[in-house]
Amino acid sequence: MAELVGWVDPDTVEDQWPDAVLMEPATLATLLAVAHETCAAYAPVVPSLEDGTPGVPPARYVMAQILQARAVWAMQRQSPGETFNGDGFSVAVYPLDARIRAMLRPKRPFGGLR
């Protein structure tokens, strides 16, 4: 088991992101670190345990970090005028898209009531 980068073990990323195995380990670690910083700024704080050690993040935080790393990687590879199909349509990847935000802060019925 490799050292965690944020909430993610880099050795397990390929289960969710198969292209990650093609990257240099340093590049993957950088992408995961950037993704963790972005996700941690938006997500509610993971509570610490009574002895002060960090708590275990929910699985959705781990998944959100991997998806955000993949989005940053795709953003770097896409040029401003990148199109497909010849129709002139392009796809922009936003810094923290709605799917990832929903994983970090899921909507609850009736606002904050549980």
- Predicted confidence (pLDDT) per residue in 21-76, tens digit: 999 999 999 999 999 999 999 998 887 777 777 778 889 999 999 999 998 888 87
Confidence category of residue 94, pLDDT binned at 50, 70, 90: low
pLDDT more than 70, % of the chain:
79
Q: Are 103 and 63 in contact (CB under 8 A)?
A: yes
Residues pairing with 84 in the sheet: 89
CA distance 101 to 114: 19
pLDDT for res 78: 64
Maximum average pLDDT range among 71-80, 83-92, 100-109: 100-109
> Who has greater pLDDT, 74 or 84?
74
CA distance 32 to 13: 9
Classified as helix, coil or strand, 89 is: strand
Residue 82 has pLDDT above 60, yes or no: no
Alpha helices in the chain (DSSP H): 25-42, 59-77, 98-104
Q: pTM of the predicted model, to two decimals?
A: 0.76
